[in-house]
Amino acid sequence: MQVRKAVIPAAGVGVRFLPATKGQPKEMLPIIDKPTIQYIIEEAVDSGIEDVVIVTSRYKKAIEDYFDYSPGLELFLRRKGKLDLLEMVTSISQMVEIHYVRQKEPRGLGHAVYCARKFVGREPFAVLLGDDIVRSRVPCLQQLLEAYNELGGNILGVQEVPPEDVSKYGILDAVEIRPGVYRVRDLVEKPAPNEAPSRLAILGRYVLQPRIFDLLERTPPGAGGEIQLTDALRALCREEPIYGYVFKGRRYDVGDKLGYLKATVEFALDREDLAEDFRAYLRKLVGNAL
């Protein structure tokens, strides 16, 4: 069955970016001049997704406002003759069908995904985490969907991480069935480096079968007292095939301050309107530091 729907969990408080996230959703923090969540939605759209549901909370109304029409702003831009900006603003509200569901209390990623069950129904779906932006020639989710169309089952987007970072992620216990594709035997949530079965980390992209909802419904709280998606995936891999797919592309953890800064700098260096002046500034800055 074709994957037509995507779930974007965006109900988290954004503790790592306080105090900025006290007054705005972390997903609305911009990389240059575009909110991080827009990069995620553009990836979904470029991968052929038709409907997106964003799982929000009571503090995330700014996300809904951003992807809605802005009559006052559009009228202002039209009157000023700023038609290029007008086109850009209106395109944001037209890029894809976006739906919203609220996670009423913070109970973890697994519970956030579970909140989307009525929207998804009994069909396969994608999950894209808003903290992970991937720059690649072929959109990251599209790569996973191509693997899904060939293999079926459930697909997890993975890459190898340094040994010191395995304790930050869900890690695969898996066997390679061909270059870049692994059959998952088990998963471990945030293991100690000396206990990790591999360095293959799940990095914010999933294609899942609806059976995951049945398992999430009876998954007890795990790490941090929250319902962990990884725990439900461990149960799922005993029932259905789960594959780890090593996607191609540069991944940024924009939920981390250093990752956010790296993304900002590298995105700016790729912008025609910024690159030359910004590169000159960086060279001067580095020269002064030496």
Chain segment 25-57, per-residue pLDDT in tens = 999 999 999 999 999 999 999 999 999 999 999
Mean pLDDT, residues 67-83 taken together? 94
- Mean pLDDT for 179-196 is 92
Structure tokens at 172: 């695969």
Mean pLDDT of 109-127: 95
What per-residue confidence (pLDDT) applies to 7? Answer: 97
What's the confidence (pLDDT) of residue 59?
85
What's the pLDDT at 224? 74
* Residues of the chain above pLDDT 70, percent: 99
Torsion of CA 117, 122, 126, 128, to 10 degrees: 0
Overall average pLDDT of the 276-288 stretch: 90
Q: What is the dihedral of CA 105, 110, 113, 115, to 10 degrees?
A: -40
Question: 193 and 112 in one domain?
Answer: yes
- Judge if 168 and 229 occupy the same domain: yes
In this prediction, residue 289 carries a pLDDT of 63
Assign residue 41 a region (left: φ > 0; alpha: ψ between -120 and 50; beta: otherwise): alpha
Let me know whether 247 and 185 are in one domain.
yes
3-state secondary structure of 136: coil
81, with CB counted inside 10 A (0-12, 13-18, 19+), is exposed
The rounded distance, in Å, linking the Cα atoms of 22 and 15 is: 9
Strand 181-189, strand 154-160: pairing: unpaired
Give me the domain span that covers residue 160.
Answer: 5-255
In which residue are the tokens 């995951």 written? 212
pLDDT value of position 1? 74
Half-sphere exposure of 122 toward its Cβ, with a 13 Å CA cutoff?
1
68 and 117 assigned to the same domain? yes
Model pTM? 0.93
136 and 60, same domain (yes or no): yes
Give the strand pairing for 34-35 and 97-102: unpaired
Task: Give the pLDDT mean for 12-19.
Answer: 88
**Is pLDDT above 90 for 112?**
yes
pLDDT at 290 over 70: no
Look at residue 71 in the predicted model and tell me its pLDDT. 94
Quick one: 211 and 96 in the same domain?
yes
* Same domain, residue pair 147 and 213: yes
Residues 195 and 287 in one domain: no
Question: Could you tell me if 280 and 176 lie in one domain?
Answer: no
Number of compact structural domains in the chain: 2
* Same domain assignment for residues 133 and 57: yes
Which two structure tokens, joined as six digits, stand for 148?
A: 């899904």
The closest alpha carbon to 197, from 154, 152, 158, 151, belongs to 158
Asked whether the predicted pLDDT for residue 286 surpasses 60, the reply is yes
Please tell me whether residues 150 and 265 are part of one structural domain.
Answer: no
> Do 124 and 210 share a structural domain?
yes
Q: What is the pLDDT of residue 181?
A: 96
Mean pLDDT of 276-286: 93
Residues in a beta bridge with 228: none
CATH number for position 24: 3.90.550.10
Element housing 49 (H / E): none
Distance CA 74, CA 96 (A): 19
